[in-house]
Amino acid sequence: MKKITLGWGFLWAVGVSASTSLTIYNGGFGVVRDAVSLELESGFNDVRYSGVTAQLIPTSVVLRDPSGVHVVRVIEQSYLGDPVDQVRLLQMFEGESIEFLRVVDGREYIEQGRIIRAPQRVSGRGGLLEPIIEVAGRLHTRLPGEPLFPSLGDDSTLLPTLVWKVHAEEAAVFEAQLSYLTRGLEWEADYNIILPEDGDAMALNGWVSIQNHTGKTFADTRIKLMAGDVNLTSPQEMHAHADHFALTSARMAAPEVEERKFDDFRLYTLPLPTTLRDRETKQVEFARAEGVPTRRLLVYEGTGGLRFRGGVNTNENFGLNSPSTVAIFREFENRESDGLGIPLPAGRMRVYRMDRDGQLEFTGENRIGHTPRNETVRLFLGNAFDLVGERTRTDISTQSARRQMRETFQVEIRNGGESAENVRVVERLYRAANWRILSSSLPFEQTDSQTIEFQLQVPADGGTRVTYTVEYSW
C-alpha cells in the first residue's frame, strides 16, 4: 500500500494491498475487501482512496478498524466515479480553444481549434455523438489531431476515488478494512463430459469461469465464489448486505479449490492468489471425476408441451398438432458411490464422445441449475436422427349431458437405424382434472397426477405402436 501525506490531516491512499480479496456471486456482483493504511491526526482528517471499481455501489461502502482499538468515525463520504479520459477532458474544455497536434509526413504541426461541441456518450446507442471543432473558421466533425490540454482541472480524478472525512479522538496509525459491493463481477461453472467410444461411463471436468467488467484490475488477489441464489430486493438496495459481507473471512490454505457450506449457500475458495484483469475471463478447475455411470434416454412427448391448466377444455380440435422429434437425454446421479457426490454449481455441461479415430466429437450441451449431492442430473442433448414419432387421435366423443369426453390415441415410433431402441413415450392428460384410462395396448406408469408413460421397444428398421383410450369427466 502506498501512502503520501500531503499536509495536516490529509492522506491519499493509492493502489491495491496484498490483502485484497473478492467474493463473487452468480448475480453479476461481488464484494471487494481491501486494507487501507491510515495515518490520522487527532481531530478531523480528509482521506482519499483511489483504485476502487468503476461500478462500485457507493451506499455499500464500509470503512472500519477491524481491531476495534482506535476510536475513529467516518463523518462524511463521497464517491468520485467519473475519472477523466479524452472524452471527459474535451467536455471540460467545451467552448474553449485548445491546441491539436497533427503529424504529416513525419513532421509535427500545432494548430488551434475551438471545441464547439464535445463528443457525448449516447445512452442506449453504444457510441459517441461526434464532436464539432472550429479550425480557421471551418467546422470539423472529427478531431483535427491529438488534443493537447492545458491543465487537468482541480476537481477531476484519474481513477474512481472514495473521499472520507474521518474524525479520530487521537492520532493513530493502523490498517483499516475497506469493503464494498460492486457490479461487473460474474462467475459460472462450465463442465466437460467425455464418454468413451463404447459405453456410458463418463469422465467429468468442472471449471469456474470468472469475468471482470468492473473497470479495475485486481492483482494478486484472493478470490472466493458464492454458489446459490442470493436474494437482492433491487439493485439499489444491494448495500443492505454490506456489513454481513464485510465480515466474511478468507481461508486459502488448501492446494485445491476448497468447497464448504456457508449459511444456506456453497462457498468455493480458490487455492492461490491470482490476478484478475479488467475485461478478462479466467478459468480455474474445481472438479474432476472418472468412471461416473450415465444413462441415455430417448423420450417422445407427442403432446408438445400441453398441460392441464386448471380448466376443462372440450375443444375437439385441441391437441392435434404433434411434433415428430424424439429427444435425447443423458442423465447421471450426483452420488459419492457413483464417483461424484459434490455440490454442482449452476452452469453449462458439454458432452463429448470419443470417435474410433481417437478424436473427441461434440454431442450436445445443456445448462443445469444448482444441484446438491444425491440429486439426478438430466441433460437434453438434441433430437435423434433415426427416430420419428407420430401421435394420431383415432376417435373422440363428447357427452355434454354426462359431462364426459373420451379420446383414443395411437402413438407410433419408427426407427430407421441399425439397432433396436427403447423409447419412453410421455402422454400428458390435459383436458380435465378427472380422468381414467379405459384401455391400453401396452402397460403404462402414472408418473404424476396428469402424466402417464409407456416404454416402447422399437426394432431396427421398424416401428412400434401403442394405443390407449382416456375418459375425462367434470
Q: Are the C-beta atoms of residues 133 and 139 closer than 8 Å to each other?
A: yes
Secondary structure E strands in 277-344: 281-293, 295-300, 327-333
Instruction: Report phi then psi at 238, rounded to 5.
Output: -60, -30
Local confidence pLDDT in tens for the 474 residues of the chain: 333 222 223 344 434 444 789 999 988 899 999 989 999 999 999 998 988 998 999 889 998 888 888 888 889 988 887 667 788 788 888 999 999 999 998 899 999 999 999 988 765 555 678 899 999 999 999 899 999 888 665 555 667 889 999 999 999 999 999 999 999 999 999 999 999 999 999 999 999 999 999 988 999 999 999 887 665 545 444 333 333 322 222 332 333 677 777 777 878 888 888 899 999 999 988 889 999 999 999 999 998 878 888 888 888 888 788 899 999 999 999 999 999 998 899 899 999 999 999 999 999 999 999 999 999 999 999 999 999 999 999 999 998 888 999 999 999 999 999 999 999 999 999 899 999 999 999 999 999 999 999 999 999 999 999 999 999 999
- Rounded to whole angstroms, how far apart are CA atoms 358 and 242? 52
Quick one: cell of 160? 474512481
What strands lie across the sheet with 43-50, from one edge to the other?
A: 2-7, 10-14, 43-50, 161-168, 72-80
Distance in angstroms between the alpha carbons of the first and the last residue of the chain: 75
- Rounded to whole angstroms, how far apart are CA atoms 366 and 330? 10
- Rounded to whole angstroms, how far apart are CA atoms 429 and 450? 5
- On the CB side of 184, CA atoms within 13 Å amount to 22
Instruction: Report phi then psi at 350, rounded to 5.
Output: -110, 140
Instruction: Report phi then psi at 15, rounded to 5.
Output: 100, -170
Nearest CA to 193 among 337, 341, 373, 379?
379
CB atoms near residue 180 (< 10 Å): 25
- Rounded to whole angstroms, how far apart are CA atoms 179 and 60? 8
At 327 the pLDDT is 97
**CA 81 centroid distance within chain:** 25
Residue 59 DSSP one-character state: G
Place of cell 492446494: 255
At 241 the pLDDT is 35
Beta bridge partners of 129: 120
Instruction: Report phi then psi at 318, rounded to 5.
Output: -80, 135
- On the CB side of 365, CA atoms within 13 Å amount to 10
Q: In sequence order, what are the residues at sequence separation of 6 or more whose Cβ sits closer than 8 angstroms to the Cβ of residue 463? A: 412, 413, 414, 415
- Rounded to whole angstroms, how far apart are CA atoms 10 and 290? 59
As a residue count, the chain comes to 474
Instruction: Report phi then psi at 19, rounded to 5.
Output: -95, 15
Place of cell 373422440: 396
Strands 295-300 and 421-428, sheet pairing: parallel
CB atoms near residue 97 (< 10 Å): 14
Q: Are the C-beta atoms of residues 444 and 452 closer than 8 Å to each other?
A: yes
Concatenated DSSP letters of 191-252: EEEEE-SSSSEEEEEEEEEEEE-SS--EEEEEEEEEES----S-GGGGGGGHHHHHT-----
Instruction: Report phi then psi at 337, rounded to 5.
Output: -65, -20
Instruction: Report phi then psi at 18, rounded to 5.
Output: -70, -15
Q: Are the C-beta atoms of residues 212 and 283 closer than 8 Å to each other?
A: no
Query: What letters, b where the CB count within 10 A reaches 16 and e where it falls short, cover 429-461?
Result: bbbbeebeeeeeeeebeeeeebbbebebebeee
Nearest CA to 320 among 430, 402, 440?
430
At 27 the pLDDT is 84
Q: Are the C-beta atoms of residues 230 and 389 closer than 8 Å to each other?
A: no
- Rounded to whole angstroms, how far apart are CA atoms 364 and 327? 12
Report which residue type is found at 268: Y
Place of cell 429427444: 327
